[in-house]
Amino acid sequence: MRRSRAAGQNIIPTTTGAAKAVALVIPELKGKFDGYSLRVPTPTVSIVDFVANIEKPTTKEELNAAFVEAANGPLKGILGVTHGDYNEPLVSMDFKGDPRSSIVDLPTNMVMDGTLIKVVTWYDNEWGYSCRTSDLAALMAKNL
């Protein structure tokens, strides 16, 4: 009943299949990964607030540099980063229609005590998914 109570006017905590699906794709994370969803009254675009303990100590600068390197390298076009346009923090609708699967919001990332990290990413939950489906179809057609 919680999910249907005035959904256009409330933030509603609920389960998410995405957290469960991660263990299917990355079996090493089974039992080590969980999550929940907050349903919000916006038409599109979602945000991930990911917190993890890591083994190797790092800094916020090193963490962000790793995302920048990946976004400019092997994950170009799939992963993005943002510093905020015109030095202004961005909001959800700034990412509407973005074809990338995930855009890391570098200013909001955090590192605490070197090994506890918080990473915030945005994604257009309709368009980004559609773009990856299109990529997969193109790859399949190329290999047939």
- Give me the mean pLDDT over the 104-130 stretch: 95
Read off the pTM: 0.85
Give 5-11's long-range contacts (Cβ < 8 A, gap of 24+): 7/39, 7/41, 8/41, 9/41, 10/41, 11/38, 11/39, 11/40, 11/41
Give 132-137's long-range contacts (Cβ < 8 A, gap of 24+): 132/78, 132/101
Range list for CATH 3.30.360.10 in the chain: 44-143
Residue with tokens 């030095």: 87
Taking only the tens place, the pLDDT of each residue in 17-46 is: 887 888 888 899 888 888 888 888 888 899
The CATH fold of domain 44-143: Dihydrodipicolinate Reductase; domain 2 (3.30.360)
Taking only the tens place, the pLDDT of each residue in 34-83 is: 888 888 888 889 999 999 999 999 999 999 999 999 999 999 999 999 98
pLDDT at 86 (0 to 100): 62
